[in-house]
């Protein structure tokens, strides 16, 4: 069960934290929760979170099948 938590941080940190979370493909709430889990020793990564952002396009432009898959999974 999720529970709301109100925190206070520096005003200039909020937009930077949001950009960082977005670059990682997660919400700011998930990022905070993940950090708290790491600090308390409860962190267990999922397969997808361990590999998110680590793959890059293979450079096979012009192959229609590859182009469709790249559009679907790499965008």
Tokens representing 65 are 């099948």
Q: Is residue 3 part of a domain?
A: yes
Alpha carbons 54 and 58: distance in angstroms, whole number? 12
* CATH code, domain with 43: 1.10.1220
Tens-level pLDDT at each residue, the chain (75 residues): 889 999 999 999 999 999 999 998 999 999 999 888 888 876 666 777 777 777 776 777 788 888 888 788 876
Report the number of distinct structural domains present in the chain. 1
Q: Is residue 31 part of a domain?
A: yes
Q: Is residue 46 part of a domain?
A: yes
Domain that residue 36 falls in: 1-53
Closest CA to 31 of 11, 12, 52: 52
Q: Is residue 71 part of a domain?
A: no
This prediction's pTM: 0.52
């Amino acid at each position: 069960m999720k529970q709301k938590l109100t925190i206070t941080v520096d005003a200039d940190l909020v937009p930077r934290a949001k950009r960082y979370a977005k670059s990682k493909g997660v919400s700011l709430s998930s990022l905070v929760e993940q950090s708290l889990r790491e600090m308390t020793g409860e962190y267990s990564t999922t397969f997808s979170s361990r590999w998110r952002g680590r793959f890059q396009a293979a450079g096979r432009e012009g192959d229609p099948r590859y182009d469709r898959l790249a559009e679907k999974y790499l965008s």
